[in-house]
Amino acid sequence: MSAGRLSLLAILLWVVLVAALAILFVKGMTKPGADGRTEIALAASERDQVLGEMRDLLKAVHGVIAWAGGPDQEADRQSAEQAARKAGMGMAADVNPALMAKLPLAFKQMGMSVHKDFDGLADAIAQQESPQQILQRLSSITARCTTCHDLYRLQEHK
């Protein structure tokens, strides 16, 4: 095989690989589900990791709501800020790239926006926004949570 043909073949294989990776990045490991949601195929440990993160997000929501409805909001403000901060971008910092590749782009975008907004929520609590303002911010975050749960289902893939 000549050097020119070999170079052309290498370029063609590179283009195919880049296209496949781009499709995987956008689509993830998904298929249509029987209930109308998109199923995301994950290994059991990956599914457990994502569900664990979702539970931690819910704990942060609970921490903020407990503060906003509590009797001593000034005394508990710091604990509410810490609860929100735990769900921020720091939570997403060390996610496995192989897991991220399996998640569809819209799922990743919603997730990252939720983490970013939890950091903003923590900042707002620290800056003395009223409980009503905090609950409005939290409502915006949980709207994305419910949208995500309406759109996606984590399916264990063996």
pLDDT score, position 18: 64
Query: Is it the case that residue 16 has pLDDT exceeding 70?
Result: no
Q: Of residues 120 and 5, which shows the higher confidence score?
A: 120
Q: Which CATH architecture describes the domain 3-156?
A: Up-down Bundle (1.20)
Using the predicted structure, report yes or no on whether residue 15 has a pLDDT greater than 80: no
Pairing of strands 30-32, 152-156: unpaired
What DSSP string runs through the chain? --HHHHHHHHHHHHHHHHHHHHHHHHH-SEEE-TTSSEEEEE-HHHHHHHHHHHHHHHHHHHHHHHHHTSS-HHHHHHHHHHHHHHTSGGGGTT--HHHHHHS-HHHHHHHHHHHHHHHHHHHHHHTT--HHHHHHHHHHHHHHHHHHHHHEEEEE--
Judged against a pLDDT cut of 70, whether residue 153 lies above it is answered with yes
pLDDT, one tens digit per residue, over 89-132 is 999 888 888 899 999 999 999 999 999 999 999 999 999 999 99
Quick check: 39 and 155 in contact, CB under 8 A?
yes
pLDDT of residue 69: 86
Residue 23 confidence (pLDDT) = 61
Q: Where are the domains of the chain?
A: 3-156
For residue 147, pLDDT over 70 is answered with: yes
Identify the band that residue 155 occupies on the pLDDT scale cut at 50, 70 and 90. Answer: very high
pLDDT at 13: 75
Q: Look at residues 52, 55, 27 and name the one whose alpha carbon lies nearest to residue 41.
A: 27
Q: What is the pLDDT of residue 22?
A: 58
pLDDT of residue 19: 60
Length of the chain, in residues:
158
Residue 12 has pLDDT above 80, yes or no: no
> Tens of pLDDT along 22-59?
565 556 789 999 999 999 999 999 999 999 999 999 99
- Which residues make beta-bridge pairs with 77? none
